[in-house]
Amino acid sequence: MYGKKVKLRFLFLVLILFSVILSVFLILQSLKSNIVYFQSPSEIKSLIELDKKKIRVGGMVKKKSISINPDEINFVITDFKNEINVTFSGAVPNLFAEGKGVVVEGFLKDRNYFSATKILAKHDENYMPPEVKEALGVK
C-alpha cells in the first residue's frame, strides 16, 4: 500500500519520538531525585516529618558560636527566630565568619542538629545569598 520510503520515514519518526520521550522521562526522573531544597532554621523547626534527603540551610552564623577541633567545626546558624546546630568537617571558605551569612549543604539529624557536607563559597564580603536574604526578610 505504502512505498518502502514512506515506511522507512515512518519508522524513523517513531524512533525519534520514542528517543525524545525516553530522554525527557530520564531527565525529569533524575531531576526529581537530585534536587536540593533550601530551608531556613524556622522552616526546619516546623517540619512535620524529617526528610532523609540532602538539603541546604541558610542564615547567619551566630556570634561566638564557632568552635574548632582538628576533626570538625561546630557552629550555630540562626535566622534570628530559630537556630540550628551544625557540625562540619571539610574545607571552609574564607568568608565564613561569625555574624556573616552562610549556606550549608548536608543532612538533618533531627530538628536541632545538621550535619553539613559542604559550606558554599561566596564571592565577596557584602554578598548575601538570596535565600538568606529572603529567610531573614531583608530587602
Partner 1 sequence: MLANQIGYYSLILGLIFSIYLCVIAVKDFNNKIKKLNPNIITLSFLQLTFVIISFLSLIMSFIKSDFSNETVFNNSHTTKPLFYKIAGTWGNHEGSLLLWLLVLTLFIFLFLIKSREQPKKYRISTLLFQQLIIIGFFLFVLMTSNPFNYLFPIPSEGLGLNPILQDPALAIHPPLLYLGYVGSSIIFSASLAAVTQNYISKEWGQHIKKWVLISWVFLTIGIMLGSIWAYYELGWGGFWFWDPVENVSLMPWLTLTALLHCILVLEKRGALTSWVVILSITTFTLSMCGTFLVRSGILNSVHTFANDPARGIFILIFLFILIFLSLGIFFLFNKENNRDTNNFFWLSKESSILVNNWFMMYFLSVVLIGTVYPIFLDVISTEKISVGPPFYHKLITPFLAPFLLFMAFGPKLKWIKSKIENKSLLIIFLVISVTLTFLILKNITTDLLFYTILISAAFFLFFTTSKELFFKKFNNISQAIAHFGFSLFILSILFNGILSSEITTNIKVGERYNYKDGEIFFEKIEEKSQSNFNSIIGYFKVTNDKGKVVELNPEIRFYNQPIIITSEADIRTTLLEDRFLVMNIVKGNEFFNIRYQVKPFMLWIWISVLIISLGGLMSVSKKKI
Site string for partner 1, 14-53 (x = CB under 8 A): -----x---xx-xx--xx--xxxxx---------------
> CA separation (Å) from 116 to 15, 17, 55?
45, 43, 9
- Hey, what's the cell of 69? 577541633
Nearer to partner 1, 24 or 50 (CB): 24
On whether the CB atoms of residues 62 and 96 are closer than 8 A, the answer is no
Q: Which of 65, 119, 130 is nearest to 96 (CA)?
A: 119
Report the length, in residues, of the chain. 139
Does residue 3 interact with partner 1 by CB under 8 A? Answer: no
Report 43-102 residues binding partner 1 (CB under 8 A): 56, 66, 68-73, 89-98
Residues at the interface with partner 1 (CB under 8 A): 5, 9, 19, 23-24, 26-27, 30-31, 34-38, 56, 66, 68-73, 89-98, 121, 123-125, 127, 129-131, 134
